[in-house]
Amino acid sequence: MDVKGVFAPLMLLGLWGYALPIAADETRPNVLFIAVDDLRPEIHSFGHEAMVTPNLDRLATEGVRFTQAYCNIATCGASRATLMTSLRPTPDRFRNYLTRVDQDAPHVVSLPALFKQHGYTTLSNGKIYHHQDDDLDAWSEPPWRPENRSISWAKPENQPIEKNGRRINGPAFEAADMADDIYPDYQICDRTLANLDQLAKDDTPFFLACGFYRPHLPFVAPQKYWDLYPEDQIPLAANDYFPRDLSRAFRYTWGELRSYRDIPKDGPVSAETARELVRGYRASVSFVDAQIGRLLDALERLGLAEKTIVVLWGDHGWQLGEHGFWCKHTNFEVATRVPLIIAAPGIPGDRDCARLVETIDIYPTLCDLTKIPKPAHLQGKSLLPLLLDTDAAHKEVVFSRWGGGDSVRSDRYRYMEMHADGGRGKLLATGLFDLQEDPGENRNLSKNPAYAKVREGLKEQLDRVRANISR
Specify whether 76 is catalytic: yes
The answer to whether 320 and 237 have CB atoms below 8 angstroms apart is yes
pLDDT tens-digit profile, the chain (471 residues):
443 333 333 333 333 344 444 444 467 999 999 999 999 999 999 999 999 999 999 999 999 999 999 999 999 999 999 999 999 999 999 999 999 999 999 999 999 999 999 999 999 999 999 999 999 999 999 999 998 765 689 999 999 998 888 889 999 999 999 999 999 999 999 999 999 999 999 999 999 999 999 999 999 999 999 999 999 999 999 999 999 999 999 998 898 999 999 999 999 999 999 999 999 999 999 999 999 999 999 999 999 999 999 999 999 999 999 999 999 999 999 999 999 999 999 999 999 999 999 999 999 999 999 999 999 999 999 999 999 999 999 999 999 999 999 999 999 999 999 999 999 999 999 999 999 999 999 999 999 999 999 999 999 999 999 999 864
**Taking the CB of residue 25, how many other CB atoms lie within 10 A of it?**
5
The answer to whether 377 and 87 have CB atoms below 8 angstroms apart is yes
> What is the reported pTM?
0.94
**Taking the CB of residue 27, how many other CB atoms lie within 10 A of it?**
11
The pLDDT assigned to 6 comes to 37
209-221, pLDDT tens digit by residue?
Answer: 999 999 999 999 9
The pLDDT assigned to 12 comes to 36
- Single out the residue of 42, 41, 67, 44 nearest to residue 54, CA to CA: 44
Cα(433)–Cα(399) distance, integer angstroms: 15
The answer to whether 406 and 419 have CB atoms below 8 angstroms apart is yes
Residue 13 has φ and ψ, to the nearest 5°, of -65, -30
The answer to whether 346 and 68 have CB atoms below 8 angstroms apart is no
35-68, pLDDT tens digit by residue?
Answer: 999 999 999 999 999 999 999 999 999 999 999 9
- Which DSSP string corresponds to 148-217? TTT----SGGGS-EEETTEEEB--SEEEES--GGGSHHHHHHHHHHHHHHHHTT-SS-EEEEEEE-TTSS
The pLDDT assigned to 165 comes to 84
- Single out the residue of 148, 129, 150 nearest to residue 139, CA to CA: 129
Cα(322)–Cα(466) distance, integer angstroms: 28
Cα(336)–Cα(73) distance, integer angstroms: 7
All domains of the chain, ordered by start, with CATH?
8-395 (3.40.720.10)
**Taking the CB of residue 273, how many other CB atoms lie within 10 A of it?**
16
Catalytic residue among 130, 316, 323, 394: 130
Please state, in angstroms and as integers, the Cα–Cα distance from residue 424 to each residue in 101, 156, 332, 418, 455, following that order: 21, 47, 20, 10, 21
| Angle (deg, nearest 10), helices 362-370 and 76-85 | 40
The answer to whether 207 and 31 have CB atoms below 8 angstroms apart is yes
Specify whether 71 is catalytic: no
Catalytic residue among 71, 76, 210, 327: 76
The answer to whether 336 and 317 have CB atoms below 8 angstroms apart is yes
